[in-house]
Amino acid sequence: MNEGDLKNKIVSLYEKTATELPNDIVFALEKAKEKEQDIIGKEIIAKILENVNQAKTDCLPICQDTGIPIFYIKRTKDYSEEDLRKIIDEATVIATEKIPLRPNAVDVLTDKNLGNKPIIHFEESEEFKIDLLLKGGGSENVSTIYQLPNQKINANRDLDGVRKSILDAVFNAQGKGCPPYIIGVAVGGNIEEVAHLSKKQLLRKITDLNPNNKLGEFEKEVLNEINQLNIGPQGLDGKTTTLGVKTIFTARHPASFFVGVSIGCWCLRRQSL
């Protein structure tokens, strides 16, 4: 593939990501609408689904906050990181104008709006793959990192402590980050690793369970408990607070026990190329 073709494909990837909610999330929302008993909660999910349909039909951004674009790239030897960065930067300018995306990069010092500035993660691979996540600001603001033990929530350095951390994060988020949520969790290493890996779990399908049986059960159990919090769609009551919990556990430093909790809004926009 030459550079021009790849650039066009990335613009199309942006368009699909901003305007089409992934099928597995649409399906989970449809199921939740059937099950939700709260009247306002049910109405809200119906409105969400109506909007998702209209956005897809009219090819318009589902949500006005088109987020920070985050690219996860599996790179073959055909492309250098430098080349890919250049192609993505150019595609971002085109996509921002064409789709359009909201210009979401604000210079911290001058306060000027700079357009959009993607975050790009690379790894080397035999096969070329791009995952794009458009991550909104509201759900990012309620994402957080815990250091265990944490006396305030009675959380020790064990699986039960991780469970309490996740529940605490969702309880504190209430309706601020656009529930029903999708939650990525990473336990271990250091701050940067749990921040990165917890967010990366949001790329997993809603139906995907951790292949480790114990952790697969843990994901189901925590999901069930979060939905007992009665926060509900948009924080206005109901049983549908979260659609899925995805975890990853890595090694930790003996002195540390970090739990990263990345919260995704219902409008979790991810697509692949």
Partner 1 sequence: MISLKTPLKKEDIQKLNVGDRVLLSGTIFTARDKACNFLLQNHLAEIENSAIYHCGPIVKGNKVISAGPTTSYRLNQYTPELIEKYGVKAIIGKGGMDESVLNALKGRAVYLSAVGGAGVIYATATKVKNVYKKEFGMPEAIWELEVKDFPAIVTMDSKGNNLYAKVFQKSKKAFVKLILPTK
**Is 168 among the residues that bind partner 1 (CB under 8 A)?**
yes
Q: How far is the CB of 193 from partner 1 (least distance, A)?
A: 25
Return the number of the residue (130 or 169) whose C-beta is nearest partner 1: 169
112 binds partner 1 (CB under 8 A): yes
Nearest to 225, CA basis, from 157, 162, 146, 141: 162
Q: How many residues bind partner 1 (CB under 8 A)?
A: 56
Identify which range of 103-111, 126-134, 196-204, 251-259 contacts partner 1 by CB under 8 A. 103-111
64 binds partner 1 (CB under 8 A): yes
Nearest approach in angstroms of CB 98 to partner 1 is 10
C-alpha 88: how far from chain center: 20
Select the residue interacting with partner 1 from 25, 73, 95, 101 (CB under 8 A): 101
For β-strands 68-75 and 129-135, DSSP reports them as antiparallel
Q: Which of 11, 13, 32, 63 binds partner 1 (CB under 8 A)?
A: 63
Q: How far is the CB of 153 from partner 1 (least distance, A)?
A: 6
Judged by CB under 8 A, the chain residues 241 through 260 that form the site for partner 1 are: none
Q: Is 164 in the site for partner 1 (CB under 8 A)?
A: yes
The beta strand positions in the chain, using DSSP E, are 68-75, 105-106, 113-115, 119-124, 129-135, 144-147, 181-189, 242-252, 258-264, 269-272
Among the listed ranges 166-174, 184-192, 196-204, 208-216, the one in contact with partner 1 (CB under 8 A) is 166-174
**48 token code pair:** 């969400």
Q: Are 235 and 175 in contact (CB under 8 A)?
A: yes
Q: Which stretch binds partner 1 (CB under 8 A): 59-67, 72-80, 185-193, 196-204?
A: 59-67
Least Å from the CB of residue 97 to partner 1: 9
C-alpha–C-alpha distance, residues 185 and 207, integer Å: 16
Q: Tell me if the bond preceding 100 is cis, omega within 30° of 0.
A: yes
Q: How far apart are CA 69 and CA 14, in angstroms?
A: 9
Cα–Cα dist 14/12, whole Å: 5
238 CB-side CA count, 13 A = 26
Q: In what order do the strands lie in the sheet with 258-264?
A: 144-147, 258-264, 181-189, 242-252
Check: CB of residue 233 under 8 Å from CB of residue 48: yes
- Quick check: 144 binds partner 1 (CB under 8 A)? no
Residue 94 in contact with partner 1, rule: CB under 8 A:
no
- Cβ proximity to partner 1, 27 vs 79, nearer residue: 27
Interface residue with partner 1 among 6, 13, 25, 44 (CB under 8 A) is: 44
Residues of the shown chain interacting with partner 1 in the complex, contacts defined by CB under 8 A: 40, 44, 47-48, 50-51, 54-55, 58, 60-66, 100-104, 106, 111-113, 136-138, 141, 153-156, 160, 164, 167-168, 171, 174-178, 225, 228-232, 234-237, 265-267
